[in-house]
Structure 1
Amino acid sequence: MVTAIVLINVARDRINDIADELAGMTSISEVFSVSGNYDLIAIVRVVHNDDLAELVTNHLLKIEGIEKTNTLLAFKAYSRHDLEAMFSV
């Protein structure tokens, strides 16, 4: 499984709408509205790197109001939760 954190800047008047749209995507497990340099953070969990590339370059690019993204690829999860079991397909 590939996990990525997508940091997102959006148009101010579209934050809630974009957050709802992102939360409805199957490969996005969580969306957070945050303070600081970004408006939203999306947690992406996909099977292959190609799936991540498809999401970021084709789907997010088409959402009106997303101004900028910064995608961080997770190498290893340090958690007490078995994430693989929770998100297995």
Structure 2
Amino acid sequence: MQNAVILINAEKGKIQSVAERLAEVEGISEVFSTCGRYDLVAIARTRDFESLAELVTGRLDEVEGIRETETLNAMQVHSRHDLETMFSLGW
């Protein structure tokens, strides 16, 4: 499983619509609106690196209102939760 944090800045007045659209994108498990340097933070969970690459370079480009992104690919996940089970994609 590949996990990533995607930091997003949206066009003025489009934060809510971008967040709602992102929440519908396959591979995005959560979207948080934030204050500070970035407007939104999306958590991506995909089965492999190729799927993550398609999400970031393909599906996110289709979301109207995204101005810029920065993707942080997780090297390790440290959690009390069994993320493999919680977010199993069935493969």
- Per the normalisation by structure 1, the TM-score is 0.95
Instruction: Give the 4+ runs in structure 1 shifted more than 2 A.
Output: none
- Separation (CA, whole Å) in 1 of partners of 2:8 and 2:16: 13
- Separation (CA, whole Å) in 2 of partners of 1:60 and 1:26: 10
Q: Give SS of 2:14's match.
A: helix
Can you give the 5+ residue segments of structure 1 that lack an aligned partner in the other structure?
Answer: none
Q: How many residues align?
A: 89
- Separation (CA, whole Å) in 2 of partners of 1:25 and 1:79: 24
**Alignment deviations for residues 13-60 of structure 1 (CA, whole Å, 9 cap, x no partner):** 111011000001121000000011000000000011111111111111
- Per the normalisation by structure 2, the TM-score is 0.93
One-letter code of the match for 2:83? L
Given that residues 3 and 73 in structure 2 are in contact (C-alpha distance below 8 angstroms), is that contact kept between their aligned partners in structure 1? Answer: yes
- Separation (CA, whole Å) in 2 of partners of 1:50 and 1:12: 31
- Separation (CA, whole Å) in 1 of partners of 2:22 and 2:73: 18
Q: Give SS of 1:13's match.
A: coil
Query: Percent identity, aligned pairs only?
Result: 51
Match of 2:63 in 1: 63
- Separation (CA, whole Å) in 2 of partners of 1:42 and 1:20: 11
Match of 2:35 in 1: 35
- Separation (CA, whole Å) in 1 of partners of 2:58 and 2:87: 23
